[in-house]
């Protein structure tokens, strides 16, 4: 057992430290994100966060709001943690944050994301938090194998219905 | 001040001028002055003119100020007011000597004028006219024996002159008049000041009695305890001393001095006993680091191993970034270094396999422990200059946590140690850009960039933290950012850009002038606040401020530049010596010119832009109240045109000789200046002092030879000087045989590259025909075991034509060095410029 509980904290992404996010994403995800991605991240406020493990950046989440077919959903673009720091609760901390925002906002119908079909680790992780596979997108990825992605979603509707009663 | 020769109406006006001056209402002051002067009877009234001048000075109208004050003085040479005002005017221009003369004249006409005496005393202490200060303070005391300031001021004067007995008498007499008054902080300070004089006078017993008998009145308990502990120790009262230091330790368990003093107070114990004492202290404050660090220093063998094992695990788990630097002092002990290395290697293997520091450990570690272990390992190998292994471990650390900034810094440092500044800059800049808000990273990066010669890039980086609307360099200078100045000087020196070297060095010099100036305000302040111990400390600090390493560095570059300017006078202002221009082809010359023009144009553009901005900013700012006029800027291009470079060098050399006699470099530089000046006695003195500070300084070989040759060929043959030279040389070179002296020196120091090289230079100086042979033996010298720094040293000297090498000779030497230090850019055959493009 580890000596004591680690300190995991979330922190802001700023123009000063955004390079740490780039470095992180480069090693965590097989996909490379363009400059626009990082520019936008600076404007989404609480929807993008860094995770610090004993003061070191080891994880991050970046979301955006997605409007489609009359639905308003929270889309998780990236959520990741450096390899050596997995299974310490960093991912949970980040996902909790996302779910808290969605709840506080109250206007989201669901949270969803894409996961490469071979990514068991992520599937297990999201499964734990009640995300369901609702679709499979063929050839979702252009440069990596396998190219198919699952769409995972956690519906927030029932909560909303209850609230409005 | 009073104008005696004015009728009531004008006299009232005159008093108003004085009031306005005191209240900084200069405009109104001028109005009143003009009112008096408009009366035709008083239009030449001396004191009014003088006051008008003083007021104008405060409005920044310097020229008119001087005109008026001088005219006023001419019209009334017997007025203490006119003289006093003239003195104040000069003082405001920092012409202290002149101001003192004026005050003295003023006192001739009003000898007991308190204000003038006080002003005079301030200048005297500022200029360290200690005897004059003592006299003035004495007079002030006589005039105002009922004021505390009078007594204290006189005591300080006596103290600074080393008249301890008298100083103590004055303080004690004063103290008697204070009896019965409640003890306040100021009185407490006075008592401690008294004690500090006793300590300085070596009267330990008296000092101890003094502080014990006033224990209740002394409110600064920490100072009381420190003094008591120290005094008990000096008097051999070890038990008492230990008791006091234990109390101090309880107040602050992180103070290493308390712990050492506590241990020392137990007499001449061996390390074993000391260690036990240390551990006893540690038990009282288990979380304190200081006793533990001291225990690490004292312990050896298996005790050390056990202690350091626990310590390392704790710190690596916490992730204390400066851990390596905290432990570095232990590494001088080879055994301790090896123990630490062995332990860390053990952790590394075990963490990799079991996530535990040792297979037997109970606790599983966080990934950060493993990370810190890898970084520490890299640092250990870097310490041994095993670049390959150091890079291996640091790369592993970076792979493990690429978002952690520290390993980037360590990697940068590894490259720096390996001599590759370009790569070092790359990694430190990676670190910097990962946290642009970190000032430390920014400074480190800028410093490395300067080292690598990337001046523009360094300025760009610094601009993130300097004031907007002003070129970064100007702002850094304004902020007295000394490291930036000395690092700039260093690179300009390397580029042989003499004008800019001098510019930077003189800017540093100017800052030291300013620091000394700045003490002016503290003379009245400290006296008023009674912070006398701190005040004496300040006076002494200011006296030796140019002993600071920043001054030493600037002085080193400045003096070496002046030596160069003396040896190779400049033909024009373009910053290159004749020789180099001549060596260039027409095409190269043209290229250089246009490159320079482009750079100048760019600079000007930036300046213009910045000026526009700063003008806008200035408009909002009010004119400074006392109208200080900005000092003329320092212009390197002017400095470099000097006709008397050696005289100019003295401005930097004198403080070095006075304040940094412990640095071998001081005497090295001094010899080179005095040799060129032909000052034989001072040459002798420099060699003697160099030998005393560090006999192994390589240049001594050459300087001694030059000295011996000088005596032989140009020495004076008769007179008292000749006598002295003879005696002195008899001591330095008993056999009067320089060859023999060099041989002895060679047998003592000749295995060291730098010493070997300088010995060859000395022989070449002695027998110029042997130069080629000397050079050959340098090329044949087995380099293995030499440091990077000494290889660069020799290469630099060869490049500056020592031993007359051909380009091929230099290439030969360089490639031997390259084999030894493959990463070092200095020895790479390819041009460094191409590489910086790649990056
Ligand atoms: C998915 C990911 C973010 C999880 O991060 P993490 O910090 O390891 O997750 P946590 O420690 O908070 O795990 C929370 C819970 O999820 C489950 N879980 C996470 N990873 C798991 C795995 N590899 N196997 C089984 N369960 C897992 C566990 O129930 C875990 O709780 P537990 O450790 O108490 O058993 C991380 O693996 C990752 O960065 N992967 C690469 C990036 C990626 O694929 N992201 C998804 C696409 S956006």
Complete DSSP assignment for B587-598: HHHHHHHHHHHH
pTM: 0.87
Take atom 33 of ligand 1 and give the residue whose Cα is closest: A87
Residue in this structure with the two tokens 């006219």, named with its chain if needed: B129
Contacts of B649 (CB under 8 A, 6+ apart): B558, B559, B562, B563, B673
Q: Which residues of B touch A27 (CB under 8 A)?
A: 402
Tell me which residue of B240, B243, B208, B238 sits closest to B224, measured CA to CA.
B208
In chain A, which residues have their Cβ closer than 8 Å to the Cβ of B400? 84
Contact list, A58 vs chain B (CB under 8 Å):
401, 403
Interchain contact, B436 vs A16, CB within 8 Å: yes
Q: In sequence order, what are the residues at sequence separation of 6 or more whose Cβ sits closer than 8 angstroms to the Cβ of residue B84?
A: B1, B102, B103, B106, B113, B115, B116, B119
Choose the catalytic residue: A108, A114, A126, A150: A114
Site of tokens 């940094």: B660
For residue B321, the chain A residues in CB contact (below 8 A) are: none
Mutation pick for ligand 1 pocket among A59, A86, A150 (CB with most ligand atoms within 8 Å): A86
Torsion, Cα B115 B116 B119 B125, to 10 degrees, reads -120
Dihedrals φ, ψ of A63, to 5°?
Answer: -125, 165
pLDDT at A163 over 60: no
| B364·A23 Cβ contact <8 A | no
CB atoms within 10 A of CB B318: 13
Q: Say if CB B119 and CB B88 are below 8 A apart.
A: yes
What the block records as the tokens of A88 is 């310490």
Q: What 3-state DSSP class applies to B507?
A: helix
- Is position A114 annotated as part of the catalytic site? yes
- Measured CA to CA, the distance from residue A81 to residue A88 in angstroms comes to 10
> Is B364 near chain A, with CB under 8 Å?
yes
Q: Which region holds residue A55: left if phi is over 0, alpha if psi is between -120 and 50, else beta?
A: left
- Closest Cα in chain A, distance from residue B370 (Å): 10
Pocket of ligand 1 (CB under 6 A): A 28, 76, 78-81, 86-92, 113, 115, 119, 121-122, 124-125, 128
Nearest ligand 1 atom, CA A95: 12
Continuous H helices in B322-438: 323-327, 334-354, 367-383, 387-400, 406-418, 421-434
Residue A2 near chain B (CB below 8 Å): yes
For chain B, list residues with pLDDT below 50.
1, 573-583, 614-627, 832, 834-839
For chains A and B, CB pairs below 8 A equal: 61
Contact A23 B403 (CB under 8 A): yes
Which atom of ligand 1 lies closest to the CA of A119? Answer: 44
Would the pLDDT of A162 be above 50? no
| CA–CA distance, B430 with B271 (Å, rounded to integer) | 46
What is the spatial order of strands in the sheet that A56-68 belongs to? A8-11, A48-53, A56-68, A71-81, A110-116, A149-155, A132-137
Radius of gyration, alpha carbons of chain A: 16
Whose alpha carbon is nearest atom 38 of ligand 1?
A80
Cα–Cα dist B323/B313, whole Å: 11
For residue B624, the model assigns a pLDDT of 44
Marked catalytic residue, from A75, A85, A108, A126: A75
- Are A55 and B319 inside 8 Å of each other by CB? yes
CB B186, CB B174: distance < 8 Å: no
The alpha-carbon radius of gyration of chain B (Å, integer) is 33
Is there a contact between A64 and A44 (Cβ–Cβ < 8 Å)?
Answer: yes
- The chain A residue lying nearest B406, using CA atoms, is A56
Point out the ligand 1 atom lying closest to the alpha carbon of residue A120. Answer: 23
Q: Which of B319, B365, B433 sits opposite A2 (nearest CB)?
A: B365
State the distance from the centre of ligand 1 to the C-alpha of A61, rounded, in angstroms. Answer: 13
Is A17 within 8 Å of B402 when comparing Cβ atoms?
Answer: no
Strands A110-116 and A71-81: parallel
Q: For residue B270, with 0-12 CB atoms within 10 Å meaning exposed, 13-18 middle and 19 or more buried, which class applies?
A: exposed
> How much is the pLDDT for B578?
42
Atom of ligand 1 nearest to the CA of A121: 23
Q: How many angstroms away from the CA of B438 is the closest CA of chain A?
A: 9
Cβ–Cβ < 8 Å for B427, B415: yes
Residues A95-108 pLDDT 10s: 999 999 999 999 99
Closest CA to B830 of B808, B811, B809: B811
Residues of chain B with CATH 1.25.40.10: 8-178
Place of tokens 């003009």: B34
What ipTM is given for this predicted complex? 0.94
- Chain B touched by A17 (CB under 8 Å): yes
What are the Cα distances from residue B802, in Å, to B487, B771, B795? 26, 9, 10
Would you call B576 helix, strand, or coil by DSSP?
Answer: coil
The CATH number, out of the four listed (1.25.40.10, 1.20.1070.10, 3.40.50.10860, 3.40.50.300), of the domain defined by the range B8-178 = 1.25.40.10
Chain A interface includes B400 (CB < 8 A):
yes
Using a CB-CB cut-off of 8 Å, the residues of chain A touching B363 are 1-3
Name the residue in chain A with its Cα closest to that of B404. A56
Nearest to A1 among B364, B367, B437 (CB): B364
Q: Which residue of B has its CA nearest to A5?
A: B366
What local confidence, expressed as pLDDT, does residue B323 receive? Answer: 94
What is residue B321's predicted lDDT score, i.e. its pLDDT?
Answer: 80
* A82: exposed, middle or buried (Cβ count in 10 Å: 0-12, 13-18, 19+): buried
Distance of CA B794 to the CA centre of its chain: 28
Binding-face residues of B in 426-445 toward A, CB within 8 A: 433-437
Element (H, E) at A152: strand A149-155
The reply to whether B365 touches chain A by the CB within 8 Å rule is yes
Q: Describe chain B by its helix, strand, coil percentages, rounded to 5.
A: 75, 0, 25
B475 is written with which tokens?
Answer: 């702002």
CB atoms within 10 A of CB B227: 22
Residue A69 is classified by DSSP as T
Residue A94 at interface with chain B, using a CB cutoff of 8 Å: no
């Amino acid at each position: 057992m580890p000596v004591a509980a680690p300190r995991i904290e979330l922190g802001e992404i700023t123009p000063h430290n955004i390079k740490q996010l780039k470095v992180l994403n480069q090693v965590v995800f097989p996909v490379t994100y363009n400059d626009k991605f990082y520019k936008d991240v600076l404007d989404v406020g609480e929807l993008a966060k860094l995770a610090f493990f004993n003061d070191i950046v080891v994880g991050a989440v970046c979301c955006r709001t997605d409007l489609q077919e009359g639905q308003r959903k929270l889309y998780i673009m990236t959520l990741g943690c450096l390899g050596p720091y997995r299974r310490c609760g960093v991912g949970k901390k980040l996902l909790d944050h996302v779910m808290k925002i969605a709840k506080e906002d109250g206007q989201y119908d669901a949270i969803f994301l894409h996961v490469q079909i071979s990514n068991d680790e992520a599937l297990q992780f999201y499964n734990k938090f009640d995300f369901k596979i609702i679709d499979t997108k063929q050839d979702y990825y252009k440069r990596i194998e396998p190219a198919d992605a699952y769409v995972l979603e956690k519906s927030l509707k029932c909560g909303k219905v209850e609230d409005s009663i | 001040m009073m104008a005696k020769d004015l009728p009531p109406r004008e006299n009232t006006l005159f008093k108003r001028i004085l009031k306005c001056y005191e209240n900084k209402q200069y405009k109104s002051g001028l109005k009143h002055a003009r009112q008096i002067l408009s009366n035709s009877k008083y239009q030449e009234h001396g004191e009014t003119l003088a006051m008008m001048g003083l007021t104008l000075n405060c409005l920044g109208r310097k020229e008119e100020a001087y005109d008026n004050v001088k005219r006023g003085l001419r019209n009334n040479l017997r007025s203490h007011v006119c003289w006093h005002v003239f003195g104040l005017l000069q003082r405001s221009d920092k012409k202290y000597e002149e101001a003192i003369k004026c005050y003295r004249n003023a006192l001739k006409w009003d000898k007991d004028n308190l204000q003038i005496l006080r002003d005079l005393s301030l200048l005297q202490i500022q200029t360290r006219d200690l005897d004059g200060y003592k006299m003035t303070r004495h007079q002030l005391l006589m005039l105002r024996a009922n004021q505390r300031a009078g007594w204290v001021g006189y005591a300080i004067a006596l103290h600074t002159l080393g008249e301890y007995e008298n100083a103590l008498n004055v303080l004690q007499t004063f103290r008697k008049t204070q009896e019965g008054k409640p003890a306040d902080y100021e009185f407490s300070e006075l008592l401690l000041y008294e004690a500090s004089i006793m300590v300085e006078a070596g009267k330990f017993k008296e000092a101890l009695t003094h502080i014990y008998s006033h224990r209740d009145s002394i409110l600064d308990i920490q100072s009381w305890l420190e003094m008591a502990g120290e005094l008990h120790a000096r008097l051999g009262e070890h038990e008492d001393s230990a008791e006091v230091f234990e109390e101090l330790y309880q107040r602050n368990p992180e103070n290493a001095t308390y712990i050492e003093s506590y241990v020392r107070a137990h007499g001449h114990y061996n390390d074993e006993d000391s260690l036990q004492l240390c551990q006893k202290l540690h038990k009282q404050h288990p979380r304190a680091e200081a006793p533990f660090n001291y225990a690490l220093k004292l312990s050896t063998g298996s005790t050390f191993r056990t202690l350091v094992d626990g310590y390392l695990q704790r710190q690596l788990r916490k992730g204390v970034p400066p851990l390596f630097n905290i432990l570095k002092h232990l590494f001088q002990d080879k055994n301790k270094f090896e123990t630490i290395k062995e332990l860390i290697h053990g952790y590394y293997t075990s963490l990799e396999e079991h996530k535990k520091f040792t297979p037997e450990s109970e606790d599983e570690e966080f990934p950060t422990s493993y990370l810190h272990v890898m970084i520490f390992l890299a640092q250990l190998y870097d310490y041994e200059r095993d670049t390959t292994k150091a890079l291996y471990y640091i790369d592993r650390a970076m792979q493990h946590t690429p978002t952690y900034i520290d390993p980037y810094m360590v990697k940068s440092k590894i490259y720096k140690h390996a001599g590759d500044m370009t790569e070092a800059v790359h990694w430190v800049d990676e670190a910097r850009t990962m946290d642009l808000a970190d000032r430390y990273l920014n400074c480190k990066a800028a410093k490395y960039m300067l080292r690598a010669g990337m001046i523009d890039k360094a300025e760009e980086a610094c601009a993130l933290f300097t004031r907007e609307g002003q070129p970064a360099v100007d702002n850094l200078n304004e902020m007295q950012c000394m490291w930036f100045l000395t690092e700039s000087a260093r690179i300009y020196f390397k580029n042989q850009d003499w004008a800019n070297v001098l510019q930077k060095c003189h800017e540093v010099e100017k800052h030291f002038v300013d620091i000394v100036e700045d003490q002016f305000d503290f003379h009245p302040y400290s006296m008023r606040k009674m912070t006398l111990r701190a005040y004496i400390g300040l006076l002494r600090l200011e006296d030796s401020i140019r002993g600071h390493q920043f001054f030493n560095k600037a002085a080193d570059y400045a003096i070496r530049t002046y030596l160069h300017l003396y040896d190779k006078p400049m033909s024009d202002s373009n910053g290159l010596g004749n020789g180099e221009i001549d060596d260039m082809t027409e095409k190269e010359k043209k290229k250089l010119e246009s490159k320079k023009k482009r750079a100048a144009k760019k600079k000007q553009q930036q300046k213009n832009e910045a000026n526009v901005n700063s003008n806008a900013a200035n408009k909002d700012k009010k004119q400074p109240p006392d109208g200080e006029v900005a000092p003329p800027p320092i212009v390197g291009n002017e400095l470099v045109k000097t006709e008397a470079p050696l005289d100019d060098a003295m401005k930097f050399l004198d403080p070095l000789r006075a304040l940094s006699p412990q640095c071998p470099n001081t005497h090295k530089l001094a010899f080179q200046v005095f040799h060129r000046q032909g000052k034989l006695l001072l040459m002798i003195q420099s060699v003697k002092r160099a030998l005393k500070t560090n006999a192994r300084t390589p240049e001594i070989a050459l300087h001694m030879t030059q000295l011996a040759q000088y005596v032989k060929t140009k020495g004076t043959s008769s007179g008292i000087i000749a006598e002295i030279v003879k005696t002195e040389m008899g001591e330095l070179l008993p056999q009067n045989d320089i060859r023999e002296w060099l041989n002895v020196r060679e047998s003592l120091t000749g295995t060291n590259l730098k010493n070997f090289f300088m010995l060859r230079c000395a022989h070449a100086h002695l027998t110029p025909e042997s130069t080629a042979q000397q050079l050959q033996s340098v090329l044949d010298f087995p380099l293995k075991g030499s440091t990077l720094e000494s290889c660069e040293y020799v290469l630099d000297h060869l490049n500056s034509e020592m031993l007359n090498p051909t380009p091929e000779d230099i290439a030969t030497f360089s490639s031997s060095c390259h084999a030894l230090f493959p990463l070092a850019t200095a020895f790479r055959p390819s041009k460094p410029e191409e590489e910086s493009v790649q990056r």
